Amino acid sequence: MSDLITRVQRLPVGKFHYTLLWVVGLGWMFDAMDTGIIAFILPTLIKDWQLSPTQSGLIVSISFVGMAFGAILSGKMADRFGRKFMFMLTLAVYSIATACCAFAPNLSWLLLFRFIVGIGLGGQLPVAVSLVSEYMPAQVRGRFIVLLESFWGLGWLIAALVSYFLIPQLSWHIAFLIGGLPLFYIWVIWKKIPESIPYLIQRGDIERAHRIIQRLEHQAGVPVLTEAIKPAVQPHQKTSFKQLWSKDFCRATAMLWLIWFGIVFSYYGIFTWLPSLLVKQGFDIVKSFEYVLLMILAQLPGYAVAAWLVERLGRKMTLSGLIGLCAVCAYFFGQAQSNQEIMFWGCLMSFFNLGAWGVLYTYTPEQYPTHIRAFGAGWAAAIGRIGGILAPMAVTQMMVFEHAFQYVFMMFTVVMLAVALTVGVLGKETKGQPLQ
Q: What is the pLDDT of residue 434?
A: 60
Report the alpha-carbon distance of residue 364 to residue 427 in Å, rounded.
Answer: 11
Using alpha carbons, list the distances in angstroms from residue 205 to 19, 137, 181, 231: 24, 22, 34, 12
Greater pLDDT, 399 or 27: 27
Which of 359, 378, 361, 365 is closest to 436 using CA atoms?
365
Report the alpha-carbon distance of residue 16 to residue 21 in Å, rounded.
Answer: 9
pLDDT tens-place string over residues 393-428: 787 777 666 677 788 889 999 999 999 999 888 878
pLDDT tens-place string over residues 369-384: 877 777 787 788 888 8
Report the alpha-carbon distance of residue 272 to residue 277 in Å, rounded.
Answer: 9
Quickly state the pLDDT bin for 435 (edges 50, 70, 90).
low
Quickly state the pLDDT bin for 100 (edges 50, 70, 90).
very high
Report the alpha-carbon distance of residue 375 to residue 239 in Å, rounded.
Answer: 7
* Burial class of residue 22, CB neighbours in 10 A (0-12, 13-18, 19+): middle
Residue-averaged pLDDT of the chain: 83
Quickly state the pLDDT bin for 110 (edges 50, 70, 90).
very high
Which of 335, 358, 329 is closest to 144 using CA atoms?
358
> Which range is most confident: 30-34, 318-322, 374-378?
318-322
Counting residues of the chain whose pLDDT is more than 70, the rounded percentage is: 90
Q: What is the pLDDT of residue 157?
A: 83
Quickly state the pLDDT bin for 239 (edges 50, 70, 90).
low
Residue type (1 letter), 300: L
CB 153 within 8 A of CB 304: no
CB 122 within 8 A of CB 61: no
Q: Say if residue 257's pLDDT is above 50.
A: yes
- What is the CATH superfamily name and number for domain 4-426? MFS general substrate transporter like domains (1.20.1250.20)
Secondary structure of residue 2 in the 3-state scheme: coil
The model carries a pTM of 0.75
Q: What is the pLDDT of residue 286?
A: 47
Report the alpha-carbon distance of residue 280 to residue 198 in Å, rounded.
Answer: 50
